[in-house]
Amino acid sequence: MIYFVTSNKGKFVEAEAIFGDLVQKNIGYTEIQADTLEEVASFGMNEVVSRLQGPVMLEDAGLFIDALKGFPGVYSAYGQKTIGNQGILKLMEGVQDRKAHFRSVVSYAEPGMEPVMFAGEVHGRIGHEARGTKGFGYDPIFCVGKMSLGEMEIVEKNKISHRAASMKALKNWLDKR
Ligand code: IMP
């Protein structure tokens, strides 16, 4: 059993499909404003690991759009809350280069253990409209092949996603220990 500290149900169900024995802990932690997802995850982990008696993981993710020089990136939560998917589509109006990637960093620790981190990415492009009602956040505007992540079932998203990649790397590491 692992505690997954997140308030995001969407993240939790994706992680649960990979790990099985997960418990969601919606206990909140400080998400610092930093230049990298690693810094955000590492600061958060230091805060929660002493509060939970057991194996704990947390994850920080972001959407990086090439034509916007990586924006929203580490500001993805703020971008989603403020301008949202429609705002991103507006910024991308008339933009030819629609390449973007999601990046995920997962941090894992047990009491008394130095945290470990694993990263994952998925490359795709920003669509011209929001499509699909599955998933969460930027999923409807991020396309891989012909489909947006918002049109994919969790099993399909988990074959390609940034989160699936970082979490499968963690799972591998745990299984090999
Ligand atoms: P955080 O990792 O919770 O800080 O996520 C930052 C922002 O990116 C939030 O607004 C999320 O909704 C969004 N986000 C994170 N992961 C995904 C994803 O897999 N699909 C779509 N949006 C995501």
Which pLDDT score is estimated for 92?
98
User: Hey, which residues does 22 pair with through a beta bridge?
Assistant: 2
Pocket test for ligand 1, best of 5, 82, 138, 156 (most atoms within 8 A of CB): 138
The answer to whether residue 21 is catalytic is: no
Per-residue pLDDT of the chain (177 residues; tens, 9 = 90+): 999 999 999 999 999 999 999 999 999 999 999 999 999 999 999 999 989 989 999 999 999 999 999 999 999 999 999 999 999 999 999 999 999 999 999 999 998 899 999 999 999 999 999 999 999 999 999 999 999 999 999 999 999 999 999 999 999 999 999
Q: How far is the CA of 114 from the centre of ligand 1 (A)?
A: 26
Which pLDDT score is estimated for 173?
98
Which pLDDT score is estimated for 95?
98
Which 8-state DSSP code applies to residue 72? B
* Host domain of residue 8: 2-175
Q: How many CB atoms lie within 10 A of CB 69?
A: 8
Instruction: Find tokens 């990086």 and name the residue.
Output: 64
* Site residues for ligand 1, CB cut-off 6 Å: 8, 60-63, 76-77, 80, 102, 135-139, 149, 161, 163
Which pLDDT score is estimated for 53?
87
Q: Residue type for 31, please?
A: E
Which pLDDT score is estimated for 50?
85
CATH number, residue 68:
3.90.950.10
pTM given for the model: 0.97
What is the spatial distance between Cα 2 and Cα 19, in angstroms, rounded to a whole number? 9
Helix residue spans in 71-161 (DSSP H): 76-82, 84-91, 154-160
Q: How many domains does the chain have?
A: 1
What is the spatial distance between Cα 122 and Cα 137, in angstroms, rounded to a whole number? 15
Q: How far is the CA of 105 from the centre of ligand 1 (A)?
A: 11
Measured CA distances, 90 to 95, 96, 132, 133, 137 (Å): 10, 13, 18, 20, 16
Which pLDDT score is estimated for 112?
87
Q: Which candidate, 177, 51, 55, 37, places its Cα nearest to that of 115?
A: 55
What is the spatial distance between Cα 122 and Cα 116, in angstroms, rounded to a whole number? 21
